[in-house]
Amino acid sequence: MSLKYLKDAVAAGDTEKLIRYVRLHLGDGNEEAGRREIDNAWVEALKPLLDVPPTDREFIHETLSTKDHATLAHLFFDLHFYLVKRSGEWIHDGNL
């Protein structure tokens, strides 16, 4: 999908087009695979927290407080790929 297509969708409030693009991006052109990848990332984010291990809250707070919105959104995409890679179920043809 072109950037214009996505910006038009934002202007029109057409979130279905936007989330479809995210699924296609994360699923390498396969929307259903992208949907599963999103679920997989959330499961991988949940698992290490179940035993409530110590985490670096100060780092998280400082990062969220000091970094700009675009950088944090970018980080969100990076964290998605980090988490699905940790899951061991790597669907992509290439490498990060």
Partner 1 sequence: MMETSKQLHPGLWDTINERYPGSMITKDDYVPLAKLGKPVAESRLAFVSSAGVQPKGTLPFDVAHPVGDYNFRRVPSSSEPSELEIHQLKYPTVGANRDRNVILPIERLQELAREGVIGGLTPNFYSFIGYNMDPERLERTLAEEIAEAVADDGTEIALLAPA
Contacts of 90 (CB under 8 A, 6+ apart): 84
In angstroms, what is the minimal distance from the CB of 13 to partner 1? 16
In angstroms, what is the minimal distance from the CB of 32 to partner 1? 13
Q: How many CB atoms lie within 10 A of CB 33?
A: 16
CB nearer partner 1, residue 39 or residue 90: 90
Binding positions for partner 1, rule: CB under 8 A: 1-6, 17, 21-22, 24-25, 28-29, 74, 77-78, 80-81, 92-96
In angstroms, what is the minimal distance from the CB of 14 to partner 1? 11
Instruction: Return the structure tokens found at 72.
Output: 């944090």
Residue type, 17: K
CB nearer partner 1, residue 32 or residue 58: 32
Q: Are 83 and 41 in contact (CB under 8 A)?
A: yes
